[in-house]
A and B are shown apart, each in its own frame.
Chain A
Amino acid sequence: MTRTVHLSLDINARRHELDVDPRTTLLDALREQLCLTGTKKGCDQGQCGACTVHVDGKRVLACLTLAAQVEGRNVTTIEGLAAESGDLHPDQAAFLEHDAFQCGYCTPGQIMSAVACIREGRVGSDEEIREYMAGNLCRCGAYNHIVAAVREAAEMAR
């Protein structure tokens, strides 16, 4: 039996209308239907953080969220961070400056988490940054540079 639900989703300040199988996660809707492929699929089980996006300003995992659950909420993905002019968000610039990646696959999730981490004020020390970035795994092991990037972005935001 094919069942579909019609959704109106607000993503990066744009309204999208789509029909999805009810099982569709926000991650799959973003990548497969809306061509917003910046949000990555890592483990698809809520363990790696590669799919981190913001819903109503809070960081969440798109792989464990049904697309249907975010109707009426504001979703921000990595594509929604930079300014209209193309200027990078300060946290994106800090990741570039500090070479805070190797392969780059976890980077969109790391940056979405970093933006939230700074907004939450959980950047008082490197130890605190590490604890509050713990939900984003980097298999390349770029953690030292990631912490440096978050630290600098937090200092710039003060």
Chain B
Amino acid sequence: MRDFSYFRAGSLDDARQYAMQSGAMLLAGGTTLLDLAKCGVVEPDTVIDITHLAGLSQISADADGVTIGALAKMEDVAGSPGIRANYPAISQSLLLAASPQLRNMATIGGNLLQRTRCPYFRDPGTFSACNKRNPGSGCSAIGGVTRNHAVLGTSEACIASYPGDLAVALVALEATIDLSDRKVTAEDFFVLPGDTPERETILERGEMVIAINIPASPVARTSTYLKVRDRQSYEFAAASAAVGLELEADGKTIRDIRVALGGVATKPWRARSVETALIGKVLDAGTVEKASRLAMEGAVADGGNRYKIELAPRDVARAILNMGGLA
């Protein structure tokens, strides 16, 4: 790990002032920053500890929605009775992620900003080419071992998948991210790699995630997060689906639906074509399975990740049918 200075921010303004400096990085739970510093992937000159800042870890809910402070811990958000009752996909996405120890450490703001698990990205000692680490150096993953790489939203520069679970549920439930001076939707917070895979979000230097707001809605209340992975626990998604479903009074016609996918794309992936195909339709297995395939429009496999193109729509269909009581 490269040498760095350590500062403890006394206030939000303090933290943002420090964060304006080149080479400065904010430290919250530390589960990404210290991990990647040990790998030699990030090399901060200055680490600014924001964990002592007051007032950024609250969870406050009302009839319109819930606001979660950026420093709230994953475990605390997952276990919040209001989140579990009214936003089950959020709670489930958190509980199916990481381990209890990591969930006690990692914050909600930091969770959004976690970096890809691409093994080529994480190993600069062995693989010098990585456009995300070192723009213009090439991509070691393309043509390599790609079992966990993205099939959606990729570019010729990068096929690394976004690894998080929470953000997928946030995109499905149309959450907004509060950056203090501006608010953006969770979907627009993340950007596609294109020619600049080193840039993963719209955050500018000195900007911080302050809070997340999730609007209350019938689809949020009847939502789920279905994560499929290579081992039963403590593993990243091979494919995941966040689904919110609202049925008409007849109990079988779809009034509203939200679908987002994880583990298969370079950013949390909203599947609007699936939603459009299902609104107004009667919920049945055949209709749902056919519509779920639309989530893979534009998918491009690169060797070992081809299975995701089959797996992800099945995951989506299962999640929808679960919510509708048909699976």
Interface residues of A (CB under 8 A from B): 1, 3, 5, 21-23, 25, 44-46, 49, 52, 58-61, 63-66, 68-69, 72, 113, 116-117, 120, 122, 130-132, 134-136
Contacts and interface: CB of A to CB of B under 8 A. Distances in A.
Given A3-B5, A23-B3, A64 B233 contact: no
A35 B195 CA distance: 50
Nearest to B95: A131
Given A61-B101, A113-B101, 5 more contacts: A22-B6, A61-B102, A69-B49, A134-B233, A135-B102
B30 interface: yes
Interface string B87-107: 000000000001111101100
Contacts of A23: 1, 3-4, 37
Interface string B219-260: 000000000000001100000000000000000000000000
Per DSSP, chain B at the interface is mixed
A84 B55 CA distance: 38
Contacts of B47: 22, 66
A65 B49 CA distance: 11
B5 to A, nearest CB: 6
Contacts, number: 83
A150 to B, nearest CB: 13
Given A3-B5, A22-B6, A66-B6, A132 B35 contact: no
Contacts of B49: 66, 68-69
Contacts of B51: 69
Contacts of B27: 66, 69
A118 to B, nearest CB: 12
A65 B105 contact: yes
Contacts of A113: 100-101
Contacts of B75: 58
A136 B233 CA distance: 11
B98 to A, nearest CB: 8
B30 to A, nearest CB: 5
A50 to B, nearest CB: 11
28 contacts: A3-B3, A23-B1, A23-B4, A23-B37, A44-B38, A45-B35, A46-B31, A46-B34, A46-B102, A49-B101, A59-B100, A59-B104, A60-B105, A61-B31, A61-B101, A61-B105, A64-B31, A64-B102, A65-B34, A66-B27, A66-B34, A66-B47, A69-B27, A113-B100, A116-B100, A117-B100, A135-B99, A136-B99
Given A64-B35, A69-B51, A131 B233 contact: yes
Contact of A135 (B4, B6, B37, B234): B234
A25 to B, nearest CB: 7
A1 B37 CA distance: 18
B187 to A, nearest CB: 29
B5 A22 contact: yes
Given A22-B47, A45-B35, A130-B233, A68 B6 contact: yes
A61 B102 CA distance: 7
A41 to B, nearest CB: 12
A64 B3 CA distance: 16
B3 A58 contact: no
Interface centre among B4, B30, B100, B101 (most CB of A within 10 A): B101
